[in-house]
Each structure stands twice: as C-alpha cells, then as structure tokens.
A and B are shown apart, each in its own frame.
Chain A
C-alpha cells in the first residue's frame, strides 16, 4: 500500500491522488449529476489567483475614482465622493486612484469591471457578504456550501498533484473576530476536506505547513514514516485490509507524506527566493499581503490550481474602514500596489499570465453617505459621523455600499486594457451600465477555468449548482476571444 520510497515520480503521485479521490467519491460524497446541459467550456486558464480585499474596498478610492474633494475643515460630508485624486494609467480611457501608480502601469494587461453589484443583505455583517461572495450563496444555507476554490478543486482537480489544489493565503482563522463566520465559508463544504483549503495564514511561515513539524529533523521525520510502514505491514488486520475505510486511510497518509517530501515543497519556501526579488514584494515591516503575492507566484509556477491571497479580514481593520478611511486606505494602497503589479509582471515574464487568471475583488464597496444601497434599512455603522469635515478621522468612506464595486482581472483569457460597466458620476454611485452580479462573475471565473457554471452535485437528493441556481452566465464581453 505504502510506496517503498518517497522519491516518487509525479505520475505515481497522480495515480495515488486519483485513487484517493475515487474512494472519496465512493464513500457517500456528493455525486456529480450527469446533466446533458452541462458541457464544460474550453479552459482559458489553468490557475486562478484571487486577490481578496477583505473588509470592503471602496471603489471610488481605488479603481473607480470620482470627483476629488481634498480635506478641509467645514466641507460638507455630502459633497465628498472620494478622497484621492485620479491618476492616468497606460490605458487612455482608464483612470484609477492615486496611490496605485504601479498598478496603473499594468492596466494594459487588465480587464476592469466597474459594475460589480453584490446583493444587499440588510444589516451589514462582512462575513455574511464574504460568505456570499466566496460560495455564491447567501447564508444561511441548509447544507454546507463549498468555497469557489473548492468547486474548482473538486471539478478540475490539482494542476500538479504535489501541490494542494486550493490554497488560502493570509487569513487567520483563529483568534480574530468573526472567526467562526469566516470558517463557515473557508471550507470544502459538502465536498469534504479533501477539497477544502490548505490554509497558510503567514506567507513567510508557509514552509512550515509542508515540512516536518517544528523541532523534528528531516531524518527523524523520514525514519518515523519508514517505521510506520513496518508496523503497518505487521499489523494483523486480516480481511479488513480490503475494507474501503481502511484502504482510504492508508492512501491519505501516504499522499500526505508524499506532499511533505516532494521537491515542489520548495515552492512554499520564501527564503528560496532571491533577495532582490523578495524586496520587490516587500512593502513594509510585515508585508503579509506582498509576501502572499510572491508565494502565490511561486505556487503558480509549481502548479497550483486555485490560490486566494487576502489582505486579511479583521473587523474594523484594513479595508474595513469605519473611520479614518483616507489614511487607512493610503496605507493599504501602499501594501498592495507594488506587489500586485509585480505579480502581473513576473507571471508575464514567466509566460504564465496567459493561463493564469488573477482577480482582485472585495465583498462590497464603500461610500461617504450611503449605507447598503439607497433606501436600505441597514444600520449606519460609520464611527465618524459628521455633517461637515472637522477632523482627519472624518475623512474617508466609512459606510458599506453595495450598489456598485470594482473587480480587476488580469490574464487567463480576459481582454487587455478593457473597461466594462459604468457607475453614476454623482451620488448614489450606483451601477448604470452592464451590471455584473456575483453569479455571473463566478460563471466568468469558472468558465475561464474550464468549468460549466451549471455544474451540479447531488446533495441530499437535490441539485446544488456551481453558481446560484445554475444560472450564472459568463460575461462573454470580458473574454479576449
């Protein structure tokens, strides 16, 4: 059962994985519904990297700048649409917000959607909107809905079997607010943990996740595995050796060990990156997001399938600007600007960008005045309420806005230097052209990844679709071809 050496070819590993996957299938995991309607499209991307701006990235402060009003004591809040001036990009008809100068230089590789419209769920709770964005379904659900990455992992499988198919970088799931809510969607859901996220909250510690436990040498780790094999052989299990519970258990242990001893392991190790390259992704003391982007690049090179890199959701921190928004967003831009641009350039240089879909997205946008959408009953959650500007802390977009939002896509078969959708020039800054809802955005991502948005699995005798109700339709206008 267990292989005699750990130095296995990828082919062997692949066989091991698919056998495990088959066993999982046989064991009451949801079955793929055979559906005549479902024809998987031809993939335009092999890897998807989701750059998640957790907490609500204000579109007017980033990719959809509006009339700029500088801070001045006494300016009525109502007058302020955004707090940064617009800058030119390398694309004539696209301007973005100051502070994103590096991204501006690569916008000719981008498709920019300004008309992303998310659902308004009433009382804002970030994790609920994040759940909706990541699973495509509004919580609560009566079954555990899988993360988008799990759908891709389940349907397309690993790109390189030695790299987990779904890798989640930058989000702590313990010790942060709303952590239970975060776990509710950071999951393989009804697909089971075989398709769940491989969580790497700290990019510089990522290697720890694929090497022997702390304090254990590689030699001891390897010896321990060999001894396990010995005792397994001697274990008097009798006829139960052919039981599927028993067999799958051995396969899982074997797979884990192969992952821990494969050469691809190096991809997780940021110390293997040349210093000057590491520098390019370093934006400050911590640089977790920047290093996350670098890790994503290394893992893409090694053959990852789906990677999420988040700025991390922590209530009231980072993009979750309930007060002092301008200053916070200024810092955030500094954290994301260079790494994102560098990631795109690096992927391009390595000839990976054409087959890698990079998506920048967030659960909703922000506004100075409107909570939710106009007329929403959502409770105003700004912590810096004021009619006129008095202190710098008042200056920024402190309310959650669901009427429009920006999504940026690079590579993976999308158009280059393309602008999609439009928002109003005056408040309310709602989408006025070509709205793209979550199901359609997901359908676009899935289609690029070669997965039909109508893909369905049988869960408790009901079909459960990859996009809500099987209705997501790829936005064809975004594709290069």
Chain B
C-alpha cells in the first residue's frame, strides 16, 4: 500500500471513527472521568457506540488490511473494567435519571442522591446489598406507580446491572463530589453598605467596618504597628523597595501627626518605582513576559510597553481593562493569548484562552472546567465558556465537549447577560468593544469586587474572599468588600487612591498576626494582617539595593522615564521586574508566565534554601557587592557598616548584642569575604525575607 493510500485511509478514518484512541490524547484539562460524567448518559452511550469493543470489525471494514492491524492492536485494550467506575458508569445515570427529583434541594420521597452519605442516610440503598436496596426494587418494578424513574423509559437491563454492581461494591463515590450546589450566591450588583458607628476613635471607614466585625467575632483589636515596621512594610508594599537608612531616621524623628499619610502619598507619587513594583503583579496576572514559551515562533505578543505606560499614568482601572479587551496593537497580546504549535485540545484554542483569562482575571471565575464540559464545581457551563469565547472568534465557533465537536455553534454572550447582550452580527472589533463596556459596566459589582480583593490580598496577605480566584466564595466581610468596591468606583477606578485608602487604615497599620498553621477554609476569622514573603523580584531588588549590583540594561521593551528628583541614589537602578528571570528569581518563585498566576507560593522550600546557601549567582553577587562597598567606602568603621545594613535590610538598628555578633563576623577589618558573609546572614533571616 502506498503512502498516499495510507494517508487517504487515515483521512477516512478520521471522518468516520476518529483515530484509534491510543494515538489521541484524551481530555487535556484533567480528567476524562469528569468529561464523561458531565456529558451525561446520552453522550456516554454515544461514546460507547463510537469506541466500543466492536471497534475491530468496524475499523477493519473501513480501512482494509493495512490498518486492520492497527485496529487489532487497539482492540487488545478494550476490556470491560471489572470494577464499577462511579464517574463513568454511575454519575451520568444518577444525573440523567434521578437528580431532577432527588438532588440539590428537591428530595421527593425524602430520598437524596446528593452524596453517598445522603443516599445511605435517606435509606435508598444498603451498602453492599443491592437486593435489599429500595432503589433497585423500584427501578425494576413493573408497577407504573412504583417504578423509578416515573418519567421516560425504564432503565436498561445493563444500567440496572451497573447500579446493582455499584451498590454491591459499597458505592464508590468521587471524593468531594455532591449534587448539592453551594449555598452562598455572590451578588452581582454593587452595594453601598451603611457604615457602622465609630468605635475607639477609629474614623476610617475600613476601621469602622472592621471594628464592627471584630465585635461580632469577639476578636481583640490587633496591636498598632510601630513606625519602623510600618515604614518598611509600606515601602515594600507600595514600591517594592527597602527604605534607605536616611529615610528610616527621618521618618522616626518626624513629629508630624500625618506623617504616615504623607509618606504613603510620597511613595505613590514616585510613579516609576510604583510602576516597576506593580509590574510584577500585572505581568503575572496578564501572563506577560519578555521571553518564554510561545515567543519561540511568534505565537505570543508582549504588552509590556502599554502596561508600563498604563501603570505610570495610573490609568483608571476601568479604562485599563477596556483597553485590554478592545485593544490597540500594543495591548492586544493579552486577548490574543498563546498560539501553540501543533494540535491543541479544543479547550485551549485561543478563543477559549480568552474566555478563561477574562473570567479568571477580571471576575475570579474558573472557566477552565467549563471550557471542556459543564463545570462540577460551580455554576458555569460549557455554553458559558464558549459564548464568551465566541465574542472574539473570527468565524462561527463550534462547541466542543471534551475535545469532541458537538455540531452546535456558540453565540456571543457575556457571562452576566443581565447586564446586556452582544449583537452577533457586529464585526469582531465591535463585539469586543461591547464586551469591554459590559465588563466595566457600572452595575457589574463583580468587576470592582474582584480587583479590590486582589489588592487587599497583596497588602494584607489574605483576600477578603479567599482564594482570590474563587470570587463565588463567601467573603469574611461582605460589607468591607462591597464598601471597597464602591469606593473604587466612586474614585473613578483610581487604584492608587484605593491603595492609599487601605494602607492609611488602622487595619493595615496593625502588627501581623502569628498564625501557627494556614487556616484552611470556611471557619477563617480575620484577626489582622498576615506576614507576606518577599517576592523573587523584591528579594533581588533588595540585594541590588544593598550591594549596588543591579544590571545595566532592562530586558523589557519599555521607555523608562527619568527618576524623580527626590529618589535617593540607592533606588536608582534597573529593577528585577524589568529583566528576564534568572536562575535565582526562578528559584524564588518568579513563574513561567504560561498560565495566569494570581498568587505565588509563600513558603521557602528546601531547594530554594539550597540555592540561597550555595547557589553561584547569589554568592557571586554578594562577593561582587562586598568588594564594591569596600571600594566605595574603604575606611568606614564596622559599626557604621552594620548599622546601615540593619537599617536598610530590616528597617531598624541592631541591638547591642546583634551588633557585637555582626562585628565579630566582620573581623577587625572588614574584608570582601567577611562582608559578604554578613550580608548573606542578614539575607537569610526570616525577618528580612518576610514583610511584617
């Protein structure tokens, strides 16, 4: 058989039956179990028809001898599983034939199939004993008054056997799965909460809400943060850089009553430093980078220039998002996504990436599941994911369920249709414009809530809604979340004003709470800010601040403005956020920006500690830095070096005892080695690596 004929046969095969399944990856998102379960019994049966035990004869007939051998091979795998598979065999059945009347709030005859426990508790089944189970008696009954399900045809003999076997095998269940939907429904419309009365003289609106919350939860007000700690924290949080010793001294000595507010405004007005700090957050969130996956063959486009300029101008957040969704050429990289080379699962084509990213980034909605099938974990459906994707599609977008075409096409629709529709007849650019309007619609409270929650998480260590990408979860304070969202809108989406508002609250200016173990979920009670780990960029920037070893050139293709006049010399350098990730930054958690990243791991791991302990990059940087420091100021006494180091790195003076040890480390006369050692030791202190 010639190659051409083989190819023809293959094409025929593709049209008629699809490839033998051992050539084709299955569901790329995660799990075919879920795909099949989600597709329901009908689709399940259809699948069985397409990929049955009979595949051999089916394929042989079509393809003739050359590929008959393939089919033979494939048939070798098609053995019926001995164990009943809940997700494949049972869940679709329950969903199609039982759930309508016996799940998610409707429990006819007091029988519930919500969970395995519910099925046992409501006495529909006896584990291990199908013969004694009411469900089996009912489904095989010939009496129309007794028979279940009452509507439609009776279950097939095969389905009955499956259910019996499942019960006899003690009802294996998919862990965590329940038919019952979550009870909390996140509201869409903005809401302006009534502020509680002022307590203890804290007039800041955030503190009025938090004080009422503390009262309700019987939590004491956390202790106030001292000046030195506040200075270090707010510097790192707002511009990502450490304060200089002069700034520490000046701030501590400043007697102005509003010195904290003044400091906050000064930092936020340092546009360049602010931009280059928050660039990290936005690059992660919008998966923008200067090199990396996808750039190899032009499958991806940067938005660096636009992003940098937008942060520098403090572009109002609604406008910022409108420009991302309905972009000019310099901002289009975000909605274009990544064009992967080769075949890609239907759920990862660019239109679906668009749908997933818009949903996750701006609304904290996980559309990843629904890109493949109706989601099991929330209310989003396949149709929702595709309708959003259809907005950007150049031509009619065929809906694929678990990578298989359904023959149906998606119509453009926004995730919250109550805010307005999108005319399918409009050209793509107009549809995107319409979408950008709906995303930022004044009645779209989800939009403002999502961003204020992200900012709060960055500043206080944990979101009001946690995790930040599941905005359908209940916030620990709806009032606070709604208040901040409305505040942002009232201030015309000015993110700097929002940040200023948060960091001038007593809630922010409290000492961090020590938490022995990360709280896991619903029982979380806010007690105060949490410590945060320095990001990779903050860590590296701090090293460069201390040692003056920053690189000469940025990798980001952006136009860097001059430093402001008041910017101290120690802070005039090319920041880590502007260069490509090196081994150290990568090790410390700067992500490969292939996926949207909204939070980074907050614990140091052993391999990271190893890189810090003997990694060549840090070690060389510290030696180079120590040499530079000695050369710049050869005669500085140890005490001065130690004090400057402590003031810069930790934002405080060393205690007498610390100074003595540090002095012993430096030796009679500081050398490059001894100074590098002291630098390293200070960098290893949790007090340095954490924002407290």
Chain A interface (Cβ within 8 Å of chain B)?
17, 20, 23-24, 26-29, 33-37, 115, 117, 119-125, 128, 132, 137-144, 164, 174, 178, 180-181, 183-184, 187, 192-194, 196, 198, 208-216, 220-221, 223-224, 227-228, 230-232, 234-237, 239-246, 248-250, 252-253, 255-257, 259-260, 369-370, 373-376, 378, 402, 424, 427-428, 430-435, 437, 458, 460-465, 468-471
Contacts and interface: CB of A to CB of B under 8 A. Distances in A.
A469 B73 CA distance: 22
Given A194-B607, A227-B681, A256-B612, A375 B342 contact: no
Given A26-B518, A231-B661, A194 B606 contact: yes
Nearest to A232: B685
Contact of B684 (A26, A228, A431): A228
B343 A122 contact: yes
A209 B516 contact: no
Contacts of B514: 239-243, 246
B178 to A, nearest CB: 12
B608 A193 contact: yes
Contact of B614 (A141, A184, A211, A464): A211
B23 A117 contact: yes
B518 A246 contact: no
A375 B176 CA distance: 43
B517 A26 contact: yes
Given A180-B291, A213-B616, A469 B605 contact: no
Contacts of A376: 10
Contact of B531 (A35, A194, A246): A246
Contacts of A244: 515-518, 603
A435 B681 contact: no
B658 A369 contact: no
Contacts of A212: 614
A124 B609 CA distance: 38
A124 B6 contact: no
Interface string B372-404: 000001000000000000000000000000000
A463 B583 CA distance: 31
A34 B18 CA distance: 35
B27 A469 contact: yes
Contact of A375 (B9, B26, B74, B664): B9
Nearest to A422: B73
Contact of A253 (B9, B27, B533, B684): B684
B28 interface: yes
A254 to B, nearest CB: 8
Contacts, number: 307
Contacts of B673: 216, 220
Contacts of B661: 227, 230-231, 234
The 8 closest A-B pairs by CB, nearest first: A375-B10, A122-B343, A213-B619, A256-B609, A122-B342, A123-B342, A252-B609, A469-B32
B595 A248 contact: no
Interface in B64-105: 66, 69-70, 72-74, 76-77, 83
Contacts of B176: 33, 458, 461, 463
Contacts of A370: 3
A245 B533 contact: yes
Given A24-B603, A28-B518, A437-B22, A36 B612 contact: no
Contacts of B692: 240
A464 B30 contact: yes
Question: What interface size band does chain B fall in?
Answer: 35 or more
A15 B338 CA distance: 44
Given A213-B616, A468-B26, A231 B175 contact: no
Interface string B610-631: 1011111001100100000000
B220 to A, nearest CB: 14
B606 A252 contact: yes
Nearest to A22: B517
Contacts of B69: 424, 430, 432
B613 A260 contact: yes
A378 B23 CA distance: 14
Interface string B571-615: 000000000000100110101101100000111111111101111
Contacts of B295: 180
A442 to B, nearest CB: 13
B194 interface: no
A23 B614 CA distance: 23
B615 A234 contact: no
Nearest to A194: B605
A24 B605 contact: yes
Interface string B342-370: 11110010000000100000000010110
Contact of A250 (B30, B366, B655, B686): B686
Interface string B490-512: 00000000000000000000001
B28 A184 contact: no
B250 interface: no
B350 to A, nearest CB: 11
B157 interface: no
A124 B684 contact: no
B558 to A, nearest CB: 20
A132 B25 contact: yes
22 contacts: A20-B606, A26-B518, A28-B602, A123-B341, A125-B342, A140-B340, A141-B28, A231-B681, A235-B687, A239-B514, A249-B686, A250-B686, A252-B604, A256-B606, A374-B10, A376-B10, A428-B66, A432-B73, A461-B176, A461-B377, A468-B27, A469-B30
Contact of B6 (A196, A234, A375): A375
B338 A140 contact: yes
Contacts of B594: 140, 144, 184
Given A184-B592, A252-B605, A462-B34, 17 more contacts: A120-B24, A123-B343, A140-B348, A142-B348, A193-B601, A194-B605, A196-B607, A208-B616, A213-B619, A216-B619, A234-B661, A242-B514, A245-B686, A375-B14, A431-B73, A460-B366, A471-B32
B677 A227 contact: yes
Nearest to B297: A125
Contacts of A123: 341-343
A362 to B, nearest CB: 17
A177 to B, nearest CB: 8
A117 B583 CA distance: 35
A444 to B, nearest CB: 14
A247 to B, nearest CB: 8
Contacts of A402: 23
A125 B614 CA distance: 35
Contacts of B77: 435
Given A117-B23, A374-B3, A432-B72, A243 B344 contact: no
Contact of B28 (A138, A208, A471): A138
Contacts of B33: 469-471
B681 A142 contact: no
Given A184-B594, A240-B512, A462-B31, A234 B657 contact: yes
Contact of A461 (B27, B293, B366, B607): B366
Contacts of B338: 140
B117 to A, nearest CB: 13
A36 B172 contact: yes
Contacts of A239: 514
B595 A142 contact: yes
B30 A435 contact: no
A139 B366 CA distance: 19
B150 interface: no
A183 B72 contact: no
B594 to A, nearest CB: 6
Nearest to A78: B3
B153 to A, nearest CB: 30
Contacts of A242: 514, 516
A316 to B, nearest CB: 14
B19 to A, nearest CB: 8
B516 A374 contact: no
B665 interface: yes
B30 A432 contact: no
B469 interface: yes
B47 to A, nearest CB: 14
